């Protein structure tokens, strides 16, 4: 048993942290306030090559190990959460199926420019009536000759207003439930594809989120991303392992930032003649956070290790995502209490962590659905 990062991973972590500190940290407040996707920052960031960390070198990627990828995500989420969402969408969800199942032609046309940051991608699971409930997917894909015809509307899609391509979850037979789910590639310039309303969000506001509409979009037959029909739900489970660990580490990063800010505030803020960090009730908040934070973070890295080793870890990744997110929500709440009334003012950071952290609840499965599933598994097998 070895819980240590390698020397190389430590160096990688330090370098990524330094990069985020230099190019993202100074802009965090502005990015949140502007509520726009920052193309200049995107281009600057893309030049550094991180968008290719999980793809093969052949396509301009780095083929980094899973632990190092997770180290990258954790450091990235210390910075602006909205920007981090766009980046992780591009690296992980937005290009996952293209990298795994795309033809060589698709990879050259879509993956290579995506790694360079020249094309922006996204994945579309959610609809207005379904999200964590994948069986509720109503978007359809019907084979017509040598083309699939896609119809439906996707909602809550990260990068929807800016994306150049998307991976779409659709059913090839609505009567078959989850057994007929498949992933398809749609490009942004295809007839029938359009971008609907953009959503105004509580947090992660520098990532743009909205609706995508597919009205008789005709795509080539080989734009089906998968080895055979009906395996979509299995593939979804596989990508969701990585998404959940990434989300868990995002939670750790946001929580740590909030509590580190709160630590500085507690040392500075004087009440009843002393810095408030001298009071036991304030100290206990840090002690409790510290314990939960360490437990969350190392459980997430254990899951990352399981993914890397190819071990089955669907349940573990769900547990990690849920546990780390609940830890984060408690931490950002405690941070606002340490800041007292100042937490309510927009010029102090706690409100931003408080708002941004809420998004963690939904990505990778909402907790009520995960709890229901995990409870069922535990009662049966645990």
Partner 1 sequence: MNMLVLVKQVPDTEAIIRARSDTVLDIEDKYALNFFDEFAVEEALRIREKSGKGTVTVVTLGSKKAADALRRGIAMGADEAFQIEDPALEEADAFATAKTLAAFIEGRDFDVILCGKQAIDDDSGAVGPALAQFLGIPYLTSIVALEITGEGKEARAAREIEGGREVVTLPLPALFSAQKGLNEPRIPQVAGVMKAMKAQIAKIDLQALGLSPEDVRPRTKILKFHPPRKRPGVKMIEEEFPRNVEVLVKILREEEKVI
Query: With respect to partner 1, which residue has the nearer C-beta, 48 or 143?
Result: 48
Nearest distance in Å: CB 20, partner 1 = 10
The piece of 42-50, 104-112, 162-170, 296-304 that touches partner 1 (CB under 8 A) is 42-50
The piece of 41-49, 199-207, 240-248, 357-365 that touches partner 1 (CB under 8 A) is 41-49
Query: With respect to partner 1, which residue has the nearer C-beta, 75 or 316?
Result: 75
Q: Does 115 bind partner 1 (CB under 8 A)?
A: no
Q: Does 42 bind partner 1 (CB under 8 A)?
A: no
Q: Does 264 bind partner 1 (CB under 8 A)?
A: no
Q: Does 36 bind partner 1 (CB under 8 A)?
A: no
According to CB under 8 A, which residues from 43 to 62 bind partner 1? 47-50, 52-53, 62
Q: Does 266 bind partner 1 (CB under 8 A)?
A: no
Q: Does 371 bind partner 1 (CB under 8 A)?
A: no
How far apart CA 192 and CA 188 sit, in angstroms, is 10
The piece of 19-27, 154-162, 302-310, 319-327 that touches partner 1 (CB under 8 A) is 19-27
Nearest distance in Å: CB 345, partner 1 = 21
Q: Does 14 bind partner 1 (CB under 8 A)?
A: yes
Under a CB-based contact definition with an 8 Å cutoff, are residues 367 and 325 in contact? yes
Q: Does 19 bind partner 1 (CB under 8 A)?
A: yes
Q: Does 314 bind partner 1 (CB under 8 A)?
A: no
Query: With respect to partner 1, which residue has the nearer C-beta, 124 or 259?
Result: 259
Query: With respect to partner 1, which residue has the nearer C-beta, 54 or 285?
Result: 54
Q: Which of 38, 42, 55, 64 binds partner 1 (CB under 8 A)?
A: 64
Radius of gyration of the chain (CA): 21
Nearest distance in Å: CB 8, partner 1 = 4
Q: Which of 307, 301, 308 is nearest to 241 (CA)?
A: 307
Query: With respect to partner 1, which residue has the nearer C-beta, 14 or 371?
Result: 14
Nearest distance in Å: CB 62, partner 1 = 6
Kindly list the residues in this chain that would bind partner 1 in the complex (CB under 8 A).
8-9, 11-12, 14-16, 18-19, 22-23, 47-50, 52-53, 62, 64
């Amino acid at each position: 048993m070895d819980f240590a990062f390698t020397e190389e991973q430590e160096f990688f972590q330090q370098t990524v942290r330094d990069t985020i500190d230099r190019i993202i940290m100074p802009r965090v407040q502005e990015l949140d306030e502007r509520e726009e996707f920052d193309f200049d920052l995107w281009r600057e960031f893309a030049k550094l090559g991180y968008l290719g960390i999980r793809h093969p070198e052949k396509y301009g990627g780095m083929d980094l190990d899973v632990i190092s990828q997770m180290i990258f995500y954790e450091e990235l989420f210390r910075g602006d959460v909205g920007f981090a969402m766009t980046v992780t969408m591009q690296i992980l969800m937005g290009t996952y199926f293209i990298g795994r199942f795309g033809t060589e032609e698709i990879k050259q046309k879509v993956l290579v420019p995506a790694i360079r940051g020249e094309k922006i991608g996204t994945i579309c699971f959610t609809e207005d009536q379904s999200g964590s409930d994948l069986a509720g997917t109503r978007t359809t894909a019907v084979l017509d000759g040598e083309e699939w015809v896609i119809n439906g509307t996707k909602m809550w899609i990260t990068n929807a207003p800016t994306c150049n391509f998307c991976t779409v979850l659709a059913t090839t037979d609505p009567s078959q439930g989850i057994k007929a789910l498949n992933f398809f590639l749609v490009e942004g310039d295809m007839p029938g594809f359009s971008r609907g309303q953009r959503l105004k969000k509580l947090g992660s506001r520098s990532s743009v989120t909205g609706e995508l509409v597919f009205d008789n979009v005709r795509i080539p037959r080989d734009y089906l991303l998968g080895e055979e029909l009906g395996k979509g739900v299995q593939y979804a489970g596989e990508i969701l392992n990585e998404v959940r660990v990434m989300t868990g580490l995002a939670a750790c990063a946001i929580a740590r930032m909030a509590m580190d800010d709160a630590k500085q505030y507690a040392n500075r803020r004087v009440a009843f003649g002393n810095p408030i960090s001298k009071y036991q009730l304030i100290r206990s908040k840090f002690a409790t956070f510290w314990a939960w934070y360490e437990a969350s973070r190392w459980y997430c890295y254990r899951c990352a290790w399981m993914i890397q080793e190819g071990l089955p870890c669907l349940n573990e990744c769900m547990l990690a995502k849920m546990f780390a997110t609940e830890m984060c929500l408690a931490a950002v709440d405690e941070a606002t209490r340490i800041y007292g009334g100042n937490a309510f003012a927009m010029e102090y950071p706690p409100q931003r962590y408080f708002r941004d952290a809420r998004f963690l609840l939904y990505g990778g499965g909402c907790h009520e659905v995960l709890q229901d599933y995990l409870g069922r598994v535990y009662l049966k097998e645990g």
